[in-house]
Structure 1
Amino acid sequence: MSDRMTAPWGEYALARFPEDPRDRLRAWDASDAYLLRHLAESGTPLDGAVVVVGDRWGALTTALAGHGPTQITDSYLSREATRANLARSGVQPDGIRLLTTRDAPPDRVDVLLVRVPKSLALLEDQLHRLAPAVHEGTVVVGTGMVKEIHTSTLRLFERILGPTRTSLARQKARLIFCSPDAQTLRSRGRDPWPYTYRLPDDIGPLAGRTVVNHAGVFCADRLDIGTRFFLRHLPAARGGGRAVDLGCGNGVVGTALALADPDAEVVFVDESYQAVASAEATYRANLPDADGRADFRVCDGLEGWAPDSVDLVLSNPPFHSHQATTDATARRMFTGARRALRPGGELWVVGNRHLGYHVTLRRIFGNSALVASDAKFVVLKAVVRGPRTSGRPGGGA
């Protein structure tokens, strides 16, 4: 859904990416508008190096495009949304830098604008990475909805950059004001990310092995219980073929498959740059001599993949888009998997029982089988039936 955001510098047509006319969620919220109003009303000078971190759908970058901002994001979808929203609003991208969380940060930051992320770890990592470019004259303003800003959020700014305070709440949004301090910047300590730990002993091929997590990856300091259940019920080795760990996170599922089936080619896919970096680090920590058997891609799921190009897809889909609970991401992942799978190819999914993925799979594939279940989770399997001759379930797309 495209919507228009009014800011002090104009009105901007904005949409999430990929744009879906059925999606009623906006590409901006009250915290974006609050920050932009504050910048205009306070007369914050924007003629220096402006850096925007965590801009979810490009609303801040689009509104500030005339000041040549640098955007830093961990999300491929956010980056593509920014490109689309700049074009939709008739803004030329010249002078705007779109960086990822894996790129080298700018050498100097005069204005640092932070859209507070859901992950406190990702905020910690990004503040540490940007701190060398921050100086005592840097204007630092964070923004988020009230429910997203906690005492721990403020402590991070204070511990890494300098004294921090918050604004009054407006429309359930709040601003964070931080005054960088030379002593704090010097004594902030080291960035604790990435984080490495040993996996439990009862999870199949990866038992007792190493996992590497960059900041922001789901359950970065431990194995989440859904993935743990999935690892106990992975498909048997097939003696080769092409498999995809879809929404790979730290890559433990795809790495387990690669260990169990040495002849398989495994592709790790996620829209998070931190996740794909984690997956590659986890894979290489456990299969250091397996070059050429794995591929690592930051992209929008299986969108654009050639039909009949995959034998197996494994997925633990997210059911949140930032703060919104939605099955839209899972549906798109399942639909993309069906297009990419060969006839006879299988999608294996783990999810909470209450999400009803079996219903969604039957709509898309025409079938769904229960592989395993416990009180909280289910592992389901869907199969591409017959040749691709139509767009109906079981046929081709």
Structure 2
Amino acid sequence: MRLDFELLRRDPDVEGLGLEASDAADRLILDEAAEAVASAGPGGVLVLDDAYGALALGATALGATGVRVHQDLATGERALARNAGRLGFTGELVPLSIPLAPGLLGHARVVLMRLPRSLDRLDELAGLVAGHAASDVRIFAGGRLKHMTLAMNEVLGAWFGRVDVSHARQKSRVLIASEPRAHRQPAAPAWPRVQHDAALDLEVAAHGGVFAGSSVDIGTRLLLAALHDGEAVPDAATAVDLACGTGVVAAWLARARPGLAVTATDRSASAAASARATAAANGVADRVTVTQADGLELLPAASERLIVLNPPFHSDAALHTGIAEHLFADAARVLAPGGELWCVWNSPLRYRPALERIVGPTRQIARDPKFTVTASRRAG
């Protein structure tokens, strides 16, 4: 079966000009790995962090059977499922949503993956593969040259005895790691890594690749300072930390307002796992419920009086406002009449008109040279 890359879609993720479902790096990874994929045997191919299915479906088209797939994003899982159905690959793959755990790696002889932009994410994945996959496993990890660094070779080299580099093609390259150092003892603590933030007196837990890692970004600090003043729907019994990342806002809210029950949600599996660990580390796990979901899809309309959001503004490497507007629309649906969305955003993005249009009347709460905090009220 031949894979037509042009037919792949990002749906249900944001689609638009400059947002493609696959690129030259996917095709180069598959070309470099073609021989290894063909000889991997049933269940011998594992795909990690495949954005929308190009690698998993491409490996299947090369003859792999029982391909296992782990995708961090819930939207990526759904895009793969829809692309598989659209292109006639239904039933060719094992379950599409597999947790990132040692059991996922067993018997994998070939691992295909896009190089994550985060070295921590690469380190976490490489360590899992080296420690739990077959002894002859090879990783074929590719990316666009503009996003690749020599540090990626070093991270792979810490876990594997050999790292080869492909020739560049169409501004892409592939790193091929083999000879896993099975008995290497990691110098760093196991994931998630936990760091104490003295200014907030908060423990922050993070798996590799989650935004800001185990530190707290300056936008979130401005948001928390604004929330500290107590103006954010003070009589709310529940709140939502939308696109929660490591769960810093959820944990802070639960600790600052002991009567509050908080829902934290993120489409990233590693973010959701980090948020659970952050809540537990701060003793508020009993009042913070964490879910992996696409926005607020699991919450009913008009059900919440307070939603807090630090929206992402990148889709992979592309700057795109569609991600934030999708979250604004979700918040507008879930907010009860009179409820408020408290949002921090990079000031040059000028989100206020979109918030006014999508959610409702918006007032500025705080501003510094880089970020703005606003509160948008849902009309009754």
TM-score by length of 1: 0.87
From the superposition, tell whether residues 69 and 190 of structure 1 become closer, same or farther in structure 2 (CA, over 3 Å).
farther
- Per the alignment, residue 51 of structure 1 pairs with 46
Tell me how far apart the structure 1 counterparts of residues 36 and 157 of structure 2 sit (CA, whole Å).
Answer: 22
Greater relative CO, 1 or 2 (CA 8 Å, sep 6+): 2
Tell me how far apart the structure 1 counterparts of residues 376 and 73 of structure 2 sit (CA, whole Å).
Answer: 28
From the superposition, tell whether residues 384 and 172 of structure 1 become closer, same or farther in structure 2 (CA, over 3 Å).
same
Secondary structure in 2 matching 1:343: strand
From the superposition, tell whether residues 324 and 103 of structure 1 become closer, same or farther in structure 2 (CA, over 3 Å).
farther
Tell me how far apart the structure 1 counterparts of residues 293 and 217 of structure 2 sit (CA, whole Å).
Answer: 23
Secondary structure in 1 matching 2:104: coil
Structure 1 residue 167: deviation in Å? 1.3
Structure 1 residue 62: deviation in Å? 1.6
Judge conservation of contact 1:102–1:274 (CA < 8 Å) in 2: no
- Per the alignment, residue 219 of structure 2 pairs with 226
Judge conservation of contact 2:203–2:278 (CA < 8 Å) in 1: yes
Taking the TM superposition and a 5 Å limit, the aligned residue runs for 1:242-257 are 242-257=238-253
Taking the TM superposition and a 5 Å limit, the aligned residue runs for 1:13-162 are 13-18=7-12, 22=16, 24-40=18-34, 44-48=38-42, 49-65=44-60, 66-67=63-64, 68-98=66-96, 99-101=98-100, 104-162=103-161
Count, aligned residues: 370
- Per the alignment, residue 274 of structure 1 pairs with 270
Deviations 1:129-149 (A, max 9, x none): 121233443232111111222
- Per the alignment, residue 369 of structure 2 pairs with 375
Secondary structure in 2 matching 1:186: coil
- Per the alignment, residue 164 of structure 1 pairs with 163
Structure 1 residue 95: deviation in Å? 4.3
Q: Percent identity?
A: 34
Tell me how far apart the structure 1 counterparts of residues 147 and 312 of structure 2 sit (CA, whole Å).
Answer: 19
Tell me how far apart the structure 1 counterparts of residues 210 and 368 of structure 2 sit (CA, whole Å).
Answer: 25
Secondary structure in 2 matching 1:141: strand
Judge conservation of contact 1:159–1:188 (CA < 8 Å) in 2: no
Deviates more, 1:84-93 or 1:266-275: 84-93
- Per the alignment, residue 176 of structure 1 pairs with 175
Tell me how far apart the structure 1 counterparts of residues 143 and 22 of structure 2 sit (CA, whole Å).
Answer: 11
From the superposition, tell whether residues 277 and 245 of structure 1 become closer, same or farther in structure 2 (CA, over 3 Å).
same
Judge conservation of contact 1:309–1:342 (CA < 8 Å) in 2: yes
- Per the alignment, residue 3 of structure 1 pairs with none
Letter of the structure 1 residue corresponding to residue 21 of structure 2:
A
Taking the TM superposition and a 5 Å limit, the aligned residue runs for 1:192-271 are 192=189, 193-201=191-199, 207-234=200-227, 236=230, 238-271=234-267
From the superposition, tell whether residues 19 and 150 of structure 1 become closer, same or farther in structure 2 (CA, over 3 Å).
closer
1:303 aligns with 2:297: yes
1:335 aligns with 2:329: yes
1:9 aligns with 2:2: yes
Structure 1: where are the runs of 5+ without partners?
1-7, 202-206, 387-397
Structure 1 residue 185: deviation in Å? 2.7
Structure 1 residue 74: deviation in Å? 1.5
From 183, 186, 190, give the equivalent of 1:189: 186
Judge conservation of contact 1:105–1:129 (CA < 8 Å) in 2: no
Judge conservation of contact 1:372–1:378 (CA < 8 Å) in 2: yes
Structure 2: where are the runs of 5+ without partners?
none
Judge conservation of contact 2:37–2:45 (CA < 8 Å) in 1: no
Structure 1 residue 100: deviation in Å? 3.2
Q: CA RMSD in A?
A: 2.1
From the superposition, tell whether residues 118 and 100 of structure 1 become closer, same or farther in structure 2 (CA, over 3 Å).
farther
Tell me how far apart the structure 2 counterparts of residues 211 and 134 of structure 1 sit (CA, whole Å).
Answer: 30
